[in-house]
Amino acid sequence: MGATGDVFDGRYRLLELLGRGTFGEVWRAVDLHRGHEVALKMILNRDRSAAWHEARILTALKSEHILEVNNADVAVDVPYIDTALATCSLDQMAVPLGVEPGLAVDWMRRALRGLDLCHKRGLLHRDVKPQNVFLISNGDSKLGDFGIVALMDAAGTADAHGDMRISAPELLTGGRASIASDVYSAGCTLYALLAGRLPYENGDPMTAIISGQCNPLRDLAPHVSRALADKVRKAMAVDPGERFPTPAAFDNALSLPRRLRKFAPIGPHPGHVRCWSVTGHGADMRVCVLPGETSRYVTVETRREGSGKRVLEYCFDCPKGQLARKLRGIFDDLR
């Protein structure tokens, strides 16, 4: 649709292609009217009048929790949206290990507040995922990428659309997008921030999504508390009626008691399989999974950091099939 150096709509000089897909293209561009760098999304495959109407509404979505929409227009029959330029999207932060749960919850709660405002303005996002929640320079997160936003009809619904990996089960069986399906996608997003991967992303996930058969969060991320895992599971319930009724309700549910200790996945030490740091409340520890002496066993050890040396606190072997349960027990004991 464009090339580096082009001036789009007589206003935006295209600097760098940031992404391309079936939706169109996203460019880092300079707004020549204001002299600011922006993210410019040029949208394909949309009805011109509908895209125009929705884009104009987006310019009124002013919130500290939504990536600012500076301008929306149509040029040469191409609808476009000009938004603030973010530092990065959350998928870049979460892959491959996930992030510390307290940080993941903070980012998600901010995005949920932005999503709640969208719903109050009669809009469904339809594509809530880590790639569409952005960090800005001060470290706050904001909901963005409204390229497939839709106006709710009188029943509060819209046509199904978006990435299958975060699509609610009802959308895959002929249902329509709704507040409940946006809440489901937000649950998938939080799961990905905690586990380092979306719950359904391998092969054709349709059957698994419809039946709700994904890996339990605490199997992939045993450092996550049972209470937080329960909130994610509720948001991702197969039955829409069992989910949080609104993003605000999901946000409120995530107001869990502050933990004295933080459990953060870290890059494995040499020769280790998985490692976590445990800090706070007098702790400066590492929980590490090492290969066992046989293929059936792994060794889990907890080491206390201090005075520049590492002192073995305890270690044991356990069958591979029991590893997740053993790790969950260790982290629950350390809380």
Q: Which domains does the chain have, with CATH numbers?
A: 7-84 (3.30.200.20), 88-253 (1.10.510.10), 262-334 (no CATH)
Locate 151 and state its tokens.
């106006």
In whole angstroms, what is the distance from residue 267 CA to residue 273 CA? 9
pTM, rounded to two decimals: 0.88
Q: What are phi and psi of 194, to 5 degrees?
A: -85, -35
What pLDDT, on a 0 to 100 scale, did the predictor assign at position 328?
Answer: 93
What pLDDT, on a 0 to 100 scale, did the predictor assign at position 108?
Answer: 98
What pLDDT, on a 0 to 100 scale, did the predictor assign at position 78?
Answer: 86
pLDDT in tens, 176-197: 999 999 999 999 999 999 999 9
- Rounded to 5°, the CA angle 210-211-214 comes to 100
User: How far does the chain reach from its first CA to its final CA, in angstroms?
Assistant: 53
What pLDDT, on a 0 to 100 scale, did the predictor assign at position 208?
Answer: 94
In whole angstroms, what is the distance from residue 79 CA to residue 92 CA? 27
Consecutive 10-residue averages of pLDDT for the chain (335 residues): 90 93 85 94 71 67 89 84 90 95 97 97 95 92 88 96 94 97 98 97 85 95 97 98 98 89 93 90 84 68 59 69 89 87
